Structure 1
């Protein structure tokens, strides 16, 4: 790593940690507020509108934000062109939302969808406004600004959901929280820009951005869009209440996952792209970070899987008990995905975005097919169908990283397998605690199981992964010296 990159990482690291912690706290708080003040049907109705808008956002974004992060140069003509093009696409997206609002209401037998979807569509304009500033700040690893923006956004979202939910706004509480929080984010980002983008367009520049961004957009549309479409399938086949349980469980696990993954994956592309631009080897950093993610993900997600049965009714109330099995399925899925979270950023930084698209297409087909296959099944089976796409992700990621990043499969496996040993010990300790306290009050059983898991992990993680921890300490020490001197 160059001293310049080390200095950037060193400056960004404390802010990234602060953002991760604040995101986790605010995310969990928003789930608490929604679970206490909104009914499952309210969350389901809002999920339909927000899901459709986010799906359109993937199509209208064209991957321009990621393309700017990786682009060799981001002079004024490039940023102005990106901003102008995204604003035009955003306006078109809002118009599409209003055009499809009535048919969507008819399809889901929900007349409230007309206004919900139409108003939520303005989120596309806010996303267009934020895209260029976010890309430039991410490219420069300006984590301080991005963290302040994210913290303000998440806190305001919790407040708006709480106030509107308390006033009985129902699904509008979720929609209002998303819109207001994004508006505040846009304000913070624009105030941090040394130069405000102008409405100026160059077709050649836009085509250059879209050549990479278009492939990125297709992948995002296939991958993230599949999530939105599958949720719509759940709402259509199983009703708004079932969708509420599904999205509640999904969001709870995602909020926990973003505590670990959010900043690492966000800055992963910038980090690996910088190494690639300076012809430096990214393999060691990739393997070390993969081991670290596996350890952190195992402690959090395996632990959540083991205690979800007691956690959900105690914390959120018995009305959310049907969501507990879904939380277990999503948590187990996230553990496996987290261990491969950096494969995408590494391949993109090396210019191999196109190889990600076929995988996303296969995962999309598997997921949407499972949505139809499980149309008349129990909600737990629906959750298992959703997780089925991961049968493709693990072998694919190993092979692609081996082929295009020149990291042998054996080395990748070593970075994952060794951190798994503490997870086995932690699982045994939690299961033993639950077995011994099977007849005890649920609260006591939950606390004891969590303590048993935390203590076991604290002892076994350093024991089995001392090389990784030593290497991490050495890297941080070098970065401190480089960051201080920069």
Structure 2
């Protein structure tokens, strides 16, 4: 494929990926907004534990499969058919594993055990969606994927609100997840022909091996975050883990969705660039800068206005979640600007190294939790920052693989992050200073307007070249 054609397709994919993430984030924020008003913190905590167990299993066994199909030299019919049925078998086995965990937990908490077992049913849908998702990503059909994601999120929103209004508590979260995943998978299956019954293909073993290695990396990251939730709940109880899980869900269902969606399209884009022997260094530098401009003001601005936004939108009962929310938003800035490191390493087949860094992050998280737990939930919340350790360790390995220096990696997104830090500082100064006595809604509106003005003003004054690049990308057809 000619380089110009690849750039055009990548640009279109990025635009649709960003649109998908915004639509999904909006639907998810509305869901969290409604659930926060109708579901108390202890019930939110139980739902968070159920989701955590399912996500750990799903990431380990299925999380890397779409990427593996994107990286595969070919995606012929026999291979995709065999992969579909093999993954469905794995999905059913995973459901049984999660149900077993639910049975064990039910000995102490029958309701929580039932929540875990029902949440585990989403694994069948995740397994069935892996191949059609991989095929759409491989073809860079992010527009089709965006539409299906938006519909599935709306289905989950409707189900969650309905069950929450019925007073089902934690079941509203779990059943909403189940509805969203089912609707999304049915749409994805409709996008591909009916797979023939096959379980053998010469390339199947390689595909599954690559998927498992990529899944191992994702599972270690998921185990760091969701394992932290499980440990937090075991030590501090359902109420405290409910506050922590509220912050985690709010971040993951907004900022995390943006990063996850972009990660999909970046792996696809770099895989296409590698097949066409293009130089990845300019793509990495420009891509990191664009991602930083799109995420740093959103995440750090969100952290700055979090005290007022949470109080106004979700109610005073969630004020205890603000420190965790601010911490997580700050960490997501680091994750966002390192996302292309992960994408390139996946495309280059360096999953083993990434698995090693994930293991380092998991060990650091476990050690930080153990050290902080005796000092109470507040200090333990800040121990969550250790989940970023594995992400940081990938820099030197990325330099050895690509020749892109660590200083280049860091400076690619430095300007927008610096502008966002200055923006956040101005917002905080306004909130605790001249706007302190102002009504909450008006103060929040002024904070947002002032923050945007500061960020845009700094970018116009000191980085017009990057703004011009963003404009070209937005207008490119």
Provide the residue aligned with 2:88 in structure 1.
Answer: 87
Unaligned runs of 5+ in 2: none
Aligned with 2:403 (options 393, 398, 406): 406
Q: 1:174-193 alignment to 2 at 5 Å?
A: 174-193=173-192
- Distance, in Å, in 1 between the alignment partners of 2:44 and 2:421 is 36
Query: What are the within-5 Å matches in structure 2 for residues 397-476 of structure 1?
Result: 397-434=394-431, 435-474=433-472
Shift of 1:69: 1.0
Matched, 1:52 2:53: yes
Structure 1 41/461 Cα, relative in aligned 2: closer, same or farther at 3 Å?
A: same
Question: Could you say which residue in structure 2 is the equivalent of 1:163?
Answer: 162
Q: What's 2:281 paired with?
A: 283
Corresponding position of 1:145 = 144
Aligned-pair CA distance for 1:141 = 1.0
Report how far residue 255 of structure 1 moved: 2.7
Mapped to 2, the partners of 1:65 and 1:181 lie a distance apart of 19
User: Per-residue deviation at 1:57?
Assistant: 1.3
For 2:201 and 2:366, locate their aligned partners in 1 and report how far apart those are by CA, in whole Å. 36
Q: Does the 8 Å contact 1:399/1:409 carry over to 2?
A: yes
Q: Which of 194, 218, 238 is residue 216 of structure 2 equivalent to?
A: 218
Q: CA deviation at 1:219?
A: 0.8
How big is the shift at 1:463?
Answer: 2.2
CA distance in 1, matches of 2:369, 2:421: 32
Whether contact under 8 Å (1:98, 1:118) holds in the other structure is yes
- What corresponds to 1:483 in structure 2? none
Unaligned 5+ segments in structure 1 are 481-486
- Alpha-carbon shift at residue 424 of structure 1 (Å): 4.1
Q: Aligned-pair distance for 1:138? A: 0.8
Q: Go from structure 1 to structure 2 and tell me whether the alpha carbon gap of 1:170 and 1:62 turns closer, same or farther (over 3 Å shift).
A: closer
- What is the alpha-carbon distance in structure 2 between the residues aligned to residue 8 and residue 306 of structure 1? 36
- Summarize deviations over 1:35-69 as a string: whole Å, max 9, x none: 01111111111111121112111233272221111
Q: How many residues align?
A: 475
Match runs of 1:34-113 below 5 Å: 34-61=35-62, 63-106=64-107, 109-113=108-112
User: Which residues of 2 match residues 86-485 of structure 1 at below 5 A?
Assistant: 86-106=87-107, 109-193=108-192, 195-202=193-200, 204-258=202-256, 260-394=258-392, 396-434=393-431, 435-474=433-472, 479-480=476-477
User: Separation in 1 of the partners of 2:103 and 2:305?
Assistant: 42
Is the 8 Å Cα contact of residues 154 and 181 (structure 1) preserved in structure 2?
yes
* Structure 1: distance between partners of 2:410 and 2:53: 38
Give the whole-Å Cα distance in 2 for the aligned partners of 1:318 and 1:476. Answer: 40
Identify if the C-alpha distance between structure 1 residues 97 and 259 changes in structure 2 by more than 3 Å, giving closer, same or farther. closer
SS of the counterpart of 1:201?
coil
TM-score by length of 2: 0.94
Q: 1:52 to 1:30 in 2, by over 3 A?
A: same
Query: Does the CA contact (< 8 Å) of 2:95 and 2:124 recur in 1?
Result: yes
Partner of 1:439: helix, strand, or coil?
coil
Distance in 1 (alpha carbons) for counterparts of 2:473 and 2:98: 49
Q: Distance in 2 between matches of 1:147 and 1:294?
A: 22
Shift of 1:166: 0.3
Q: Which secondary structure state, in structure 1, belongs to the residue aligned with residue 373 of structure 2? A: coil
TM-score w.r.t. length of structure 1: 0.93
Q: Is the 8 A contact 1:437 1:445 kept in 2?
A: yes
Shift of 1:475: 5.3
SS at match of 1:347: helix
Q: Distance in 2 between matches of 1:302 and 1:97?
A: 36
> CA RMSD of the aligned region, Å?
1.9
Distance in structure 1 (CA, Å) of the matches to 2:307 and 2:182: 37
For 2:258 and 2:110, how far apart are their aligned partners in 1?
Answer: 39
Q: Residues 245-278 of structure 1: CA distance to partner in whole angstroms, max 9, x if unpaired?
A: 1111011122331464233211000000110111
